[in-house]
Structure 1
Amino acid sequence: MAKGWRSYTIKELGKHIWTGDQIFLAASAKAHTKTRHTTYEINAGALGLQRGGWLEAAVDSAPNPMATPEAGAVARFIVQLASNPSYRSYLDRPVTLLQREDVIALFEAVDATVERSGVGTAIQYSQKVRQFLSRPTVPLATGDLIRDVRYYTSLKTPVPRARDTLSDRPHPNLEDSRLARPASAIEFTDLEDLRTKQVAHFEGRNRVLVELCATVLDAHDFVVESIRAARRIAIDDLNLPPFLCDHIVDKKKIPHYAIRMIHSEALLPVCVYLMDANELYKKPYCIRLPTQKIEAFSPLLTHGGFQEQFGILLSENYLSVHVYMACLVLLMLETGWNSSTVLTLTSDRIEEIDGKYYLHGYKSKSGQNQRSETNASGSAVQSTPQRSESNGLVSKIYEEDDLAKPVKMENPIVVRAINLLLSHRANIDKNSKTDTRQLFLLMSLKIKQGNQMFRVPDIGQATRQFCDFIGHPPFLIDDLRKQAVNTKYVRTRDLRLAQADLGHANPGSTLTYVNGAALRQSKESIIKDFGSILSDSYLFAAGKLFVNPDAKDRKSRLTRTLLLFPPSSLHAEDGDSIADRWLNSDGTFSFQIGEEEIAYCVYQKNYYRKSCAKLVSENPRRFAKYHLPRILFCEALHRFIAQSPLGSKLKDIEGEHK
């Protein structure tokens, strides 16, 4: 152990041990249904660490086993701290002799050591080590506990990375160019148009993925019907050599030399017969099956290997890998849960009441219960009770009435996926024994001693293969959670609902989900668009920009702000405003008065009231020639509107401008 520590995987250690010159930290990490045990060994003798001090108290107080990431950080940085004699003296000193200043000094040393190591997210490593050292319940010399000592770290909290969604990425396989491009490339005319197109883009991308999953479920149904049809054909009716028929029926297998004698139409009936005769759905084992070139399997095949073909052959009882992934994708898009929450879904957490499915998931990271309701028609609503100690944007997210306002996602195929999963699990319970009640278990097709017959597969690899199979750009499985939450967010623009769906106590965590590239770049586009129009409006108001009066585009319409009066006192006196036209026509020019004209009249009257003296002093001749007639026109128009049926509207607008 040149570096002072090492880690290795053995059977469960059970507890932490300090024996002789060695410290053994027991650690474990659980991935889906598998638990991996790791032991971290620290060479205390070589480092000069003594028993009876702060370090031994921390080891005794640590949970058994520790989480693997925490144990790894502790082993790594305790060794580095012990390499410094002054820091080692704190670790060797009994807790009862420590002062508050000693605790702060060692915590500062932890921060400095972690920062010097150059690890990413240094504050997280520092927190793990400081948490480990804060667990002893023996009081300090001052009577305080270590965990009560206030310490403020100097390390910076990393800015969370914005989480891109499926809509943030291009989809070159789509014929619809609007959906093929990322949502950040949406062209829009105004904010309302942008929001409408964003909703259409997110929902469109979801619909594309759901339809692809539906084709996979259709292929599964086709395979199942083909298997059932093949079962109805007797072996004697397959036009095979008589000796081969007798061998298949008597021996329940095929001679190696006779496989080529089986014609293509007889392949599936022979495989189904051997599957039933040998009960391969109860215990798969090596048996010669002519699964190659079975035409009915082609809708679910990728590479065409035997294991994949054998998995498809068992489709009547269990889901093959692509159908399994299609169901997982559908449920994640529907619920917006983490993959770990969906993968741990069990049959008893699915209720069918009055044609609706109620899915109860368990959020493994925080221990929150997740609840999602799916109608037979595919409508879904999810509620996540907020933890009592949560704070920030909301303290209580869902009231009782909120459950009566479901957000409908027209996705009836999800009910079909749930039924397939329930049938899949029922056959597992019927034909095998498992250590877990999860729905999302896949039959292991690798015949190896000690392998579990049903397990959670490598989801990352299965997701990549599924994306290739359906022709979709690759994504990570938890990207579907981001996509589902962002789809709802672009509809409602309510961060509180997004926070509720995600089950976050801290709204800052929610922002990392809803601040993907599409929404972030659309906000930047709005600012850029506003700035462009604002700069042109300044130039136009100063008479330095000409706008075609016949132009109908949005930018020209917003830039050309001429209504009743010139846009500014600096504008060229071309007599193009309504006030000037009416004055130049000796009152014969007619125009309509609406809400915009009333608001402009109120604004202009307030402007003249405040600026009249300034306009006179700046240029008396200009005031007499241009401004005075406009002031009289404005006052007359104001009185006319006040005495007209629009008088109430005038009072309302004046009240808003006070």
Structure 2
Amino acid sequence: MSNSAAIHGATHQWTDDQVILAVKYTRGQSDRPRKVKIDLAACGIKRYGLLESCIDDAECPLQQSVASHFAGCVKAIAKDGSVAKLLSTPPNQLTRKDIILLFKKIDNYYLEKNVQSSAASAEQARNIIRDGQALLQTGITLAQVGYKTSLKAPPRRFRKDISDRVDIGAESTEIQLPLSADTKSNVYEFTGNSEEHYRKRLERIVKTCEEVLDEHDNVKHAIDAARRMPLPKSLLKKSIKMLTELGRINEKVANRRTAEERLIIALKIIDHHKLYSSTVSGIRVFIEDIPLLDRLSGGKGARTRFGVLLSSHYLSRYVVTACFIILLRYTGWNSDTLIGLSIDRIRRTAHGYQLFSLKEKTQQYQESQVISDDLTTNIEEKAAVRAISLLLWHNSSVDKLAIRHSKSIFVSFNLSYKGKLEADVFLHGIHFHEFTRVWDLPRFTATDIRPQTVRYDYLKSGGDLAAQQAKLGHASSVTTRHYLGGLDTAHNEANIKRYCEMLKASILYVTNREEIDPNISDEDANVIRKMLAPPTRFSSNEENYLIDSWLANPTEEIRVEEALVELCVYQRAYYIRNFRKLRDANPKRFATNELPRILVCIALYKTIKEGEFRKLIQKLEKN
């Protein structure tokens, strides 16, 4: 048994024909064991070889993703008999060449899969082999083999935010369309439009989540009222006796009742058998065709509807999701940090709550104040206080009546097992997609709220990057810019559009084909007049332009500053690298926006390179 196995109290289990990897799945402070199996017989692998030695030395239990990738990789590459033989051979009989061959097979397997995470997954699989403690035939360890992979991690992509998606449920056409559909605004108009778009999308999401909380309150009130009502008078004495003494009722009798009567009957059955605490075999609760349960269940199956029927004791799945979204919006934390929020990390204050949680990647504590003060707070803050209050009530019931598998306050039930009710975290992408579909929101997941919030706050602050970096707790501004990437791209496009508009107007003006539009600002008019013919430093008062002096004296030297040279070189390098990408991404935009800038850049570059800055250009290009 390895040291890590002893620490975690788990081992990878071996038999003659298979190995079961001990696996943990950690999310929201939940640590539930799972198993991943490798069938040795089917793979043609024998025991006591390299594979067994490396697995025994590996971390135990393994992370679920690592174990799954490794098992899948072993099953695939072992189809090659030479690999199966290699994995069956003891390490002290293998050479460095054998291990490199194995690593290449792993890389080729993930290369053929052609998925974005190929490089990372291949590295995880190789690490299990590389971390083995056994010595090879030459006396070196597996870690000393020194293999260099040919796989490269893909460049980090900018995250799309919620404003990049269509929202047909929004009130105005401008907010229904994605922000990228705004192709008419210049950079000044676009900044204001962007801030408004981000704000309204966030407000709509928070407002919808508050409607979910309102619906929970309505359902809870209706259920409490129905629980106090007597059994329907239309029931026969036999049915009443069966219901009160045994907690059962004939299906045909239940189906002939009205929706209100079926609700009363269902609550009697739940209370009789204490189904709010545990499920009982053979007991049916007839909850079909009860409109009260429709909205919070999304019209789904009996399990989901039954979860809504327990609203007197717990929050149903959609209500927990709504609370989670509200707190994501208010705290600005990432989803994993927020899921780690537990009851002991919530402190009641005079005006609201103080929240603490641990950031998983950096192990940094995150803190947020949730304050409810009618005179000063925004709607998100009041919603956040309400969400925390509901979650604390929900978790109190979970601790009293159910089994908890996670310390996170965002637990709910799947109701798919027998016995005691078990609470765990259910906030995966599929649950968010169901939530957005039922409540008519643009499709998003937990990881989409933070970029939306960050970009709105960035615009609202007037583009203060340092303030956003401090607020997010990022060590580097590069990480912060990753959240703003899509926004920067959109602003650049708007900036390019304005440049091209001004360039077009300037060309028409200097060639006497069109006058300057009298409706534009004086500043823009001045730019149009001087863009292609900027004034010299000698004769600005007489409106003489540099182009006039060039025409009057063709031998006159063109004066260029070093900063312009550097900008021109970098801009040209960018266009060389990204020409095909820019052209193929949007041919129409490329022809109208990008191509004029490229032509001007090339012409300026050639002109500068023929002058005294030739060596500076060579130095910049070399670096």
Fold shared by both chains (TM-score > 0.5): yes
SS in 2 for 1:128: helix
* Other-structure match for 1:26: 21
Q: Which residue of 2 aligns with 1:37?
A: 35
Match of 1:440 among 402, 410, 421: 410
Contact 2:263 2:287 in 1 (8 A): yes
C-alpha distance in structure 2 between counterparts of 1:232 and 1:82, whole Å: 66
**8 Å Cα contact 2:347/2:355 also seen in 1:** yes
Separation (CA, whole Å) in 2 of partners of 1:246 and 1:353: 51
Please state how far the C-alpha of 1:319 moved relative to its aligned partner: 1.2
From 441, 444, 451, the equivalent of 1:472 is: 441
* Range moving further from structure 2, 110-119 or 173-182: 110-119
Counterpart secondary structure, 1:213: helix
Letter in structure 1 aligned against 2:402: S
Contact 2:508–2:515 at 8 Å: present in 1 too? no
What's the CA shift for 1:303? 2.0
Number of the residue aligned with 2:529: 561
Aligned partners of 1:531 and 1:275: how far apart in 2?
Answer: 69
Tell me the equivalent position of 1:547.
515
Instruction: Kindly indicate whether residue 318 of structure 2 is the aligned counterpart of residue 322 of structure 1.
Output: yes
Q: Distance between the aligned counterparts of 2:295 and 2:64, measured in 1?
A: 42
Distance apart, 1:295 and its partner CA: 5.2
How many Å apart are 1:129 and its aligned residue?
3.7
Question: 2:564 aligned with 1:604, yes or no?
Answer: no
Instruction: Tell me, in whole angstroms, the C-alpha distance in 2 between the residues paired with 1:88 and 1:607.
Output: 85
Counterpart of 1:483 in structure 2: which amino acid? Q
**Quick one: distance in 2 between partners of 1:251 and 1:378?**
51
Q: Which residue of 2 aligns with 1:431?
A: 401
Q: CA deviation at 1:318?
A: 0.9
Deviates more, 1:419-428 or 1:351-360: 351-360
Q: Summarize the Cα distance change of 1:557–1:327 in structure 2 as closer, same or farther, 3 Å threshold.
A: same
SS at 1:163's partner residue?
coil
Structure 2 residue identity aligned to 1:36: R
Conserved in 1, the CA contact under 8 Å of 2:296 and 2:318? yes
Alignment counterpart, residue 208 of structure 1, candidates 192, 204, 210 = 204
Helix, strand or coil: the match of 2:224?
A: helix
| In structure 2, distance between residues paired with 1:81 and 1:293 | 54
- What SS does the corresponding residue of 1:161 show, helix, strand or coil? coil
Q: Distance in 1 between matches of 2:277 and 2:346?
A: 26
Provide the residue aligned with 1:113 in structure 2: 108
Deviation of residue 86 (structure 1)?
11
CA distance in 1 between partners of 2:529 and 2:446 (Å): 50
Amino acid at match of 2:162: L
The 5-angstrom pairing of residues 115-514 of structure 1 reads 117-120=112-115, 121-136=117-132, 147=143, 152-186=148-182, 190-235=186-231, 239-240=233-234, 243=237, 248-256=243-251, 258-259=253-254, 262-263=257-258, 266-285=261-280, 287=283, 289=285, 291-294=287-290, 296-303=292-299, 305-364=301-360, 367-377=363-373, 410-446=380-416, 448-449=417-418, 452-457=421-426, 459-492=428-461, 493-495=463-465, 510-514=480-484
Distance in 1 between the 2:14 and 2:266 partners? 59
Query: Does structure 1 retain, via aligned residues, the 8 Å contact 2:277–2:420?
Result: no
What is the distance in 2 between the residues matched to 1:307 and 1:284? 11
Shift of the 139–368 alpha-carbon distance from structure 1 to 2, 3 Å rule, reads farther
Q: Partner of 2:585 in structure 1?
A: none
Q: Structure 1 pair 257/128, CA: closer, same or farther in 2 (3 Å)? A: closer
Describe the SS at the equivalent of 1:478: helix
Tell me, what secondary structure is at the counterpart of 2:404? coil
Give CA-to-partner distance per residue, 1:123-171, whole Å, 9 cap, x none: 2233224423432457889998664776654432211233211110111
**Rounded Cα–Cα distance in structure 2 between residues aligned with 1:342 and 1:415:** 15
Structure 1 CA distance, aligned partners of 2:274 and 2:20?
A: 46
For residues 72 and 302 of structure 1, what CA distance do their matches in structure 2 show?
33
The answer to whether the 8 A contact 1:24-1:39 is kept is yes
> What is the percentage of aligned positions where both structures have the same residue?
25
Paired with 1:272 and 1:497, the residues of 2 have a C-alpha distance of: 53
Other structure's SS at 2:34 match: strand
> How far 1:302 sits from its partner (Å)?
3.2
Q: Name the SS for the 1:561 alignment partner.
A: helix
Residues 24 and 504 of structure 1: is their aligned pair in 2 closer, same or farther, counting only changes over 3 Å? farther
Contact 2:86 2:98 in 1 (8 A): no
Contact in 2 for aligned 1:547/1:560 (Cα 8 Å) = no
**CA distance, structure 2, for counterparts of residue 37 and residue 176 of structure 1:** 50
Name the stretch that deviates more: 199-208 or 486-495.
Answer: 486-495
Residues 533, 555 of structure 1: 8 Å contact kept: no
Give the Å deviation of 1:67.
3.1
On the 8 A contact 1:292/1:304 being kept in 2, the answer is no
Shift, 1:279, TM fit: 2.9
**Contact 1:537-1:560 within 8 A present in 2 as well:** yes
SS of residue in 1 equivalent to 2:60: coil
After TM superposition, the structure 1 stretch with the greater mean CA deviation from structure 2, 474-483 or 256-265, is: 256-265
Pair 1:276–1:600, CA change in 2 (3 A): farther
Q: 1:67 & 1:180 partners in 2: Cα distance?
A: 41
Check the 8 A contact 1:271/1:289 in 2, yes or no.
Answer: yes
- Give the direction of change, closer, same or farther, for the CA distance of 1:85–1:267 in structure 2 (3 Å limit): closer
Tell me which amino acid in the other structure corresponds to 1:526. Answer: N
Pick which of 145-154 and 348-357 moved more: 145-154
Partner of 1:624: none
Which amino acid in the other structure matches residue 417 of structure 1?
A
| CA offset digits 1:300-323 (Å, max 9, x no partner) | 353265434432222111112222
Mapped contact 1:110–1:129 kept (Cα < 8 A) = no
1:331 is matched by which residue type in structure 2?
L
Take 2:500 and 2:351, find their aligned partners in 1: how far apart are those partners?
A: 53
Q: Distance in 2 between matches of 1:610 and 1:468?
A: 61
How many residues are treated as equivalent by the alignment? 541
Determine helix, strand or coil for the equivalent of 2:341: coil
SS at match of 1:208: helix
Hey, which of these two has a bigger chunk of helix by percent? 2
Deviation at 1:182, TM superposition (A): 0.9
1:209 deviates by 0.9
How far apart, CA to CA, are the structure 2 residues paired with 1:346 and 1:142? 52
Superposed CA RMSD in Å reads: 4.7
2:395 alignment partner AA: R
Change (3 A) 1:198 1:617: closer
TM-score normalised by the chain length of structure 1: 0.68
Q: How far apart are the structure 2 equivalents of 1:282 and 1:50?
A: 48
Q: Which runs of 5+ in 1 are unaligned?
A: 1-11, 381-406, 570-598, 620-658
Q: Aligned partners of 2:268, 2:306: CA distance in 1, in Å?
A: 14
Letter in 2 for 1:469: V
Pair 1:146–1:268, CA change in 2 (3 A): closer
